[in-house]
A and B are shown apart, each in its own frame.
Chain A
Amino acid sequence: MASPAAIELSRWQFAITAIFHMSFPALTVGLSVLLAVVQTAYVRTGNPLYQQIFRFWKKIFAVGFGLGVVAGTVMTFEFGLNWGVFAHAVGPVIGVTIGMEVITAFFLEAGFIGVMLYGEGRVKPRTMALASWMVASGTLLSTTWILSANSWMQDPAGYTETAGQFHPGDWMTILLNPAFTYRFPHMLLAVLISASWFVGGISAWYLVKQRRAAFPFARRCLSIALGVLAILMPIQFYYGDATAGFMAQHQPAKLQALEGNWQTDNNGYNLVVIPDTGQGKNDLRITVPHLGAVIGHDLTGEAHVPGLLQSPPDERPNMWSVFYGFRAMYFIALAMFATALAGLVLRLRRRLFDSRRFLRWMVWMTPAGVIAITGGWITAETGRQPWVVYGKLRTADALSHLTTAEAATTLTAFVLLYATLLAIWVRYIVRTVKAGPEAPAAPILGKEAPVA
């Protein structure tokens, strides 16, 4: 039996490496689709604007993709390093799912990324577009498989248990498990949305800073980003709500922690709580009365929101992380929804590209999607605790034969390395953005010397 400290440290290690890894696909999946679209537009129209857009986002995509790959390599081994018992138990099910991800998605991305990034001048623009679509399909497929694997852990289905190991029964049920049908569209939309905020925010910055040379570039990108957002945000709310409804049925404790109530006596919606997990009560609670009941589809506003004390003490997740993780995601999502629709209205009124206040707000929204995704995953993963395979395998029982010292050393190493890497990555983005997109070539034949 592993020590509690080793378990705690290993959980932190997995959480940090997973969140860090996640923040790269959160941008690169959407960017890969954007790159494929603009490269195709370039092939079809020959307009250098699309080439300019492709080359600019390619710079950020290339580095983000590379870092995502190495951080993802860590994840592949992380399952077995600290969580040997878990790895042995679920390998026959999830190992296979992730194996399929590697062979269908990882390789597809890696195989074509070279052509996509370095192919210019060696292959035709059309081939570059094809390679870009292949990379984009790879990133999307990868999201699909990973969500299938994770959803299976949230709501296991289609297996039999033999001697502490999960044996697959029906593969269709395993891969298309009930939780997957809700969580996959939610996450797919989330990565597209977060990349759109990133692209939109950076484009808005050029307009705010009056970088005239970058105006066509910035307007085109902002237009695409806000268009995608206006279309996807409503759908995302729908799927988010559906996912929460599903979780209320299958993981009641997660929803109880997420609403921030202990007793089942509150019909309001909690904005802020300070939970006392030891005593099972809130030290502070700021509530909008009746709203909780209304959200739960009771129009009289009197129904009580279920509290965490309904779950047995050894099956309660930590209210702090679940409550605030969800609030971070949800409140940001409200801001996103409002911004996207406001952007659409401004657009229709021909004011989008000149309205300074809105554009400045857009710049602030640049990291919104990544933060919301992080909050959502914190809710999903800590809300599932104390289970690693929900209802079947406890996290505390899943640890490898590991000393606390080992876990502490490697956790420190990961934290230091990832903090440095994150700082450098952000600095790289800032520098690339400041340098701006490449200037277009002169419209004349382009060979004679410029007239100074």
Chain B
Amino acid sequence: MLEYATYALVLLSLGMYVVLDGYDLGVGMLSLFAKGEGRREHGELIATAWDANESWLVLAGVALWAGLPGVYATVLPGVYLPLIGMLLAIILRGMGLEFQSAAAGYRRGWALLFGWASVAATLCQGLVLGGVLSGLRQHGGSFSGGAFDWLTPYSVLCALGLVVLYLLAGAAWLQDKTEGAARERAGRAGRPLLVGTTVAALILGFGLEIADPEKFRFDEPVRAALYWTAVAGAVAAGAVAWHGFGRRPDWRPFAGVVAAQVCGLLALVAATAPVIVPPELTLHQASSPHSSQTFLVVGVGLCMPVVFAYNAYAWWAFRGKFTQTPEAPLAPLRVRAREARQARPEPGGLVVVARRVLLTVPGIGLAAVSQDVFGGIASWIDPVGVALLSATALLAWLLSDRRDQRDGVFDLDPQDADSARVRT
């Protein structure tokens, strides 16, 4: 039973990833169709959330490692090249996004990098998914196939299908988050993308069955019932999205797309469980010992509500249409008159040398003794010595900081403020 909980955890993270990072990769790909500042705005749209979205991929990976090490150790080397490709694309994407966001104005290079890296990441994800679904050769919990086993017609189709799906999610998200021309464009793109996604889903669904007819036991009534329920759910959700595109309320298409994605994933699970890596690696063979799974499921399970709560808060903080809030100027100064501090004249030559020597020698001695460099006879010497040295430093720092504060060393100068105004 426990392994089903682990499996559910992996699926939950994977599902969350597809739903969340799906729209955000889709927005990235759609940014290629925008121009100039519009492209930059696509990046800004997801800047607040992409870290959190990507975390689900990390959780999926790690939960797989911890709970089903057999799958992790088979799948990762099995889809080595596309997976590394995806990681490289994710790095490039993060780079494009961060530097575009940090730059003062629109930067064509960063924007294009962000867009194309989104495309590459999606394609590689599709290849990984398709590669796994086409089956990986494994032996005793580790991969034993060749370097290009993942490259099959099915995995290529899967990659293309995933691009269309993410584009659809991106368009739905854009309609929810933008106003004006961008919203209308997203609304118009929605329906053709929905058709494309449906076609892709049909091809891939049937392709899966042709690829491996024996493995899908649709003669089991429970399985068939679950499968068809999920498919029906996906169709209904798709219809909601279809109706919602280009029409208010703007949240509806995204909700529909998300529901359709969830149903699609459930259908896939219903068709394949308990086989995780076709052709034959099942949940039971791949799972880790009970003590690991218990710790994982309980630990993660206890944290999950908290995670959902603050993620929901973060969503709520940035709810509604996207607006670019220009950064307000710094809070106004409270001016206090102070006398300028005079630097004391430095005494010359020998005095300085003597003073430095006198400070350095006991300094080294103090440090050496407190660190017990010479080997104390009692074990308490170094902790106590170190604590004394640090406490003295803390005290000295606090006193001198208080003094500097009184002297106005840290006061912002109103003159700097004025001169800055004039310059800008």
- Binary interface encoding of chain A residues 127-152 relative to chain B, with 1 for a CB under 8 A from any of its CBs, else 0: 00000001000000000000000000
Q: Are A103 and B299 in contact (CB under 8 A)?
A: yes
Taking the complex as formed, is A107 at the interface, i.e. its CB lies under 8 A from any CB of chain B?
Answer: yes
Instruction: List B57-103 residues whose CB lies under 8 Å from chain A.
Output: 57-59, 61-63, 65-67, 69-70, 72-77, 80-81, 83-84, 87-88, 90-95, 97-99, 101-102
- Binary interface encoding of chain B residues 385-421 relative to chain A, with 1 for a CB under 8 A from any of its CBs, else 0: 0100110011011011101100001111110111111
- A281 smallest CB distance to B (angstroms): 30
Q: Are B65 and A446 in contact (CB under 8 A)?
A: no
- B366 smallest CB distance to A (angstroms): 9
Q: Are A227 and B87 in contact (CB under 8 A)?
A: no
Taking the complex as formed, is B173 at the interface, i.e. its CB lies under 8 A from any CB of chain A?
Answer: no
Question: Which of under 10, 10 to 19, 20 to 34, or 35 or more describes the interface residues of B?
Answer: 35 or more
- B111 smallest CB distance to A (angstroms): 15
- B305 smallest CB distance to A (angstroms): 11
- Binary interface encoding of chain A residues 418-442 relative to chain B, with 1 for a CB under 8 A from any of its CBs, else 0: 0001001000100010000011111
B contact residues around A219 at 8 Å (CB):
404, 409-410
Q: Are A88 and B359 in contact (CB under 8 A)?
A: no
Q: How far is the CA of A84 from the CA of B420 in the complex (A)?
A: 58
Q: How far is the CA of A162 from the CA of B288 in the complex (A)?
A: 11
Q: Are A114 and B371 in contact (CB under 8 A)?
A: no
A contact residues around B55 at 8 Å (CB):
102, 106-107, 110
- Flag the segment in A44-52, A309-317, A318-326, A365-373 that touches B: A44-52
B contact residues around A123 at 8 Å (CB):
317
Taking the complex as formed, is A178 at the interface, i.e. its CB lies under 8 A from any CB of chain B?
Answer: no
Indicate which residue in B143, B295, B310, B359 contacts A171 across the interface (CB closer than 8 Å). Answer: B295
Instruction: Name the residue of chain B whose CB is nearest to the CB of A407.
Output: B80
Known pairs A72-B58, A84-B142, A348-B400; A107 contacts B69 (CB<8 A) = no
Taking the complex as formed, is A167 at the interface, i.e. its CB lies under 8 A from any CB of chain B?
Answer: yes
B contact residues around A108 at 8 Å (CB):
307, 310
Known pairs A80-B73, A443-B417; A401 contacts B144 (CB<8 A) = yes
Taking the complex as formed, is B344 at the interface, i.e. its CB lies under 8 A from any CB of chain A?
Answer: yes
Q: Are A73 and B394 in contact (CB under 8 A)?
A: no
Instruction: Name the residue of chain B whose CB is nearest to the CB of A59.
Output: B102
The A interface, classified by DSSP as helix, strand, loop or mixed, is helix
- A172 smallest CB distance to B (angstroms): 11
Instruction: List A325-357 residues whose CB lies under 8 Å from chain B.
Output: 337, 341, 344-345, 347-348, 350, 353-354
Taking the complex as formed, is A119 at the interface, i.e. its CB lies under 8 A from any CB of chain B?
Answer: yes
- A437 smallest CB distance to B (angstroms): 9
A-B pairs with beta carbons under 8 A, tally = 375
Taking the complex as formed, is B374 at the interface, i.e. its CB lies under 8 A from any CB of chain A?
Answer: yes
- Binary interface encoding of chain A residues 57-101 relative to chain B, with 1 for a CB under 8 A from any of its CBs, else 0: 001001101110111111011011110110110011101101111
Q: How far is the CA of A233 from the CA of B209 in the complex (A)?
A: 64
- Binary interface encoding of chain B residues 196-234 relative to chain A, with 1 for a CB under 8 A from any of its CBs, else 0: 000000000000000000000000000000000000000
- Binary interface encoding of chain B residues 141-159 relative to chain A, with 1 for a CB under 8 A from any of its CBs, else 0: 1111101000000000000
Q: Are A62 and B421 in contact (CB under 8 A)?
A: no
Known pairs A46-B331, A237-B371, A440-B416; A73 contacts B98 (CB<8 A) = no
B contact residues around A405 at 8 Å (CB):
147
Taking the complex as formed, is B340 at the interface, i.e. its CB lies under 8 A from any CB of chain A?
Answer: no
Q: Are A111 and B310 in contact (CB under 8 A)?
A: yes
Instruction: List B311-356 residues whose CB lies under 8 Å from chain A.
Output: 311, 313-314, 317-318, 325, 327-335, 343-344
Q: Are B65 and A52 in contact (CB under 8 A)?
A: no
Indicate which residue in A51, A59, A227, A234 contacts B389 across the interface (CB closer than 8 Å). Answer: A234
Q: Are B412 and A114 in contact (CB under 8 A)?
A: no
Taking the complex as formed, is A34 at the interface, i.e. its CB lies under 8 A from any CB of chain B?
Answer: no
Instruction: List B365-384 residues whose CB lies under 8 Å from chain A.
Output: 367, 370-375, 382-383
- Binary interface encoding of chain A residues 212-230 relative to chain B, with 1 for a CB under 8 A from any of its CBs, else 0: 1101100110010011001
Known pairs A99-B66, A421-B95; A216 contacts B295 (CB<8 A) = no
A contact residues around B72 at 8 Å (CB):
80, 87-88, 91, 95
A contact residues around B363 at 8 Å (CB):
341, 345
Indicate which residue in A167, A234, A432, A445 contacts B393 across the interface (CB closer than 8 Å). Answer: A234
A contact residues around B386 at 8 Å (CB):
234-235, 237-238
Q: Are A100 and B65 in contact (CB under 8 A)?
A: no
B contact residues around A98 at 8 Å (CB):
62, 65-66
Taking the complex as formed, is A276 at the interface, i.e. its CB lies under 8 A from any CB of chain B?
Answer: no
- B143 smallest CB distance to A (angstroms): 5
- B375 smallest CB distance to A (angstroms): 3
Question: Which of under 10, 10 to 19, 20 to 34, or 35 or more describes the interface residues of A?
Answer: 35 or more
Taking the complex as formed, is B422 at the interface, i.e. its CB lies under 8 A from any CB of chain A?
Answer: yes
Q: Are A113 and B51 in contact (CB under 8 A)?
A: yes
Indicate which residue in B65, B311, B343, B413 contacts A95 across the interface (CB closer than 8 Å). Answer: B65
Instruction: List B106-150 residues whose CB lies under 8 Å from chain A.
Output: 141-145, 147
Taking the complex as formed, is A400 at the interface, i.e. its CB lies under 8 A from any CB of chain B?
Answer: yes
Q: Are A167 and B394 in contact (CB under 8 A)?
A: no
Most chain-A CB neighbours within 10 Å: which of B83, B141, B327? B141
Taking the complex as formed, is A241 at the interface, i.e. its CB lies under 8 A from any CB of chain B?
Answer: yes
- A168 smallest CB distance to B (angstroms): 5
Known pairs A345-B359, A413-B84, A417-B92; A438 contacts B330 (CB<8 A) = yes
Q: Are B66 and A115 in contact (CB under 8 A)?
A: no
Q: How far is the CA of A103 from the CA of B301 in the complex (A)?
A: 9
Q: How far is the CA of A67 from the CA of B98 in the complex (A)?
A: 8
Taking the complex as formed, is A298 at the interface, i.e. its CB lies under 8 A from any CB of chain B?
Answer: yes
Taking the complex as formed, is A251 at the interface, i.e. its CB lies under 8 A from any CB of chain B?
Answer: no
- B150 smallest CB distance to A (angstroms): 12
Q: Are B397 and A66 in contact (CB under 8 A)?
A: no
B contact residues around A414 at 8 Å (CB):
88
Q: Are A107 and B311 in contact (CB under 8 A)?
A: yes
A contact residues around B8 at 8 Å (CB):
none
B contact residues around A278 at 8 Å (CB):
none
- A345 smallest CB distance to B (angstroms): 6
B contact residues around A119 at 8 Å (CB):
317
- A346 smallest CB distance to B (angstroms): 10
A contact residues around B63 at 8 Å (CB):
99
Q: Are B411 and A216 in contact (CB under 8 A)?
A: yes
- B121 smallest CB distance to A (angstroms): 11
Q: How far is the CA of A237 from the CA of B400 in the complex (A)?
A: 24
Q: How far is the CA of A134 from the CA of B62 in the complex (A)?
A: 22
Indicate which residue in A215, A347, A441 contacts B333 across the interface (CB closer than 8 Å). Answer: A441
- B98 smallest CB distance to A (angstroms): 4
Known pairs A168-B295, A410-B81; A99 contacts B330 (CB<8 A) = no
Q: Are A92 and B69 in contact (CB under 8 A)?
A: yes
Q: Are A167 and B289 in contact (CB under 8 A)?
A: yes
- B208 smallest CB distance to A (angstroms): 25
Indicate which residue in A96, A345, A432 contacts B296 across the interface (CB closer than 8 Å). Answer: A96
Q: Are A213 and B419 in contact (CB under 8 A)?
A: yes
- A4 smallest CB distance to B (angstroms): 18
Q: Are A168 and B330 in contact (CB under 8 A)?
A: no
B contact residues around A76 at 8 Å (CB):
58, 61-62
Taking the complex as formed, is A109 at the interface, i.e. its CB lies under 8 A from any CB of chain B?
Answer: yes
19 A–B contact pairs at CB < 8 A? A66-B94, A79-B65, A81-B76, A84-B74, A91-B66, A91-B288, A102-B55, A113-B52, A117-B47, A121-B325, A168-B291, A215-B413, A234-B367, A344-B396, A400-B143, A401-B144, A410-B80, A450-B418, A450-B421
- 8 further A-B pairs in the complex, CB-CB below 8 A; given A65-B51, A104-B303: A70-B91, A84-B77, A95-B72, A115-B48, A118-B318, A297-B374, A341-B367, A442-B414
Closest 3 CB pairs of A and B: A91-B69, A439-B420, A297-B375
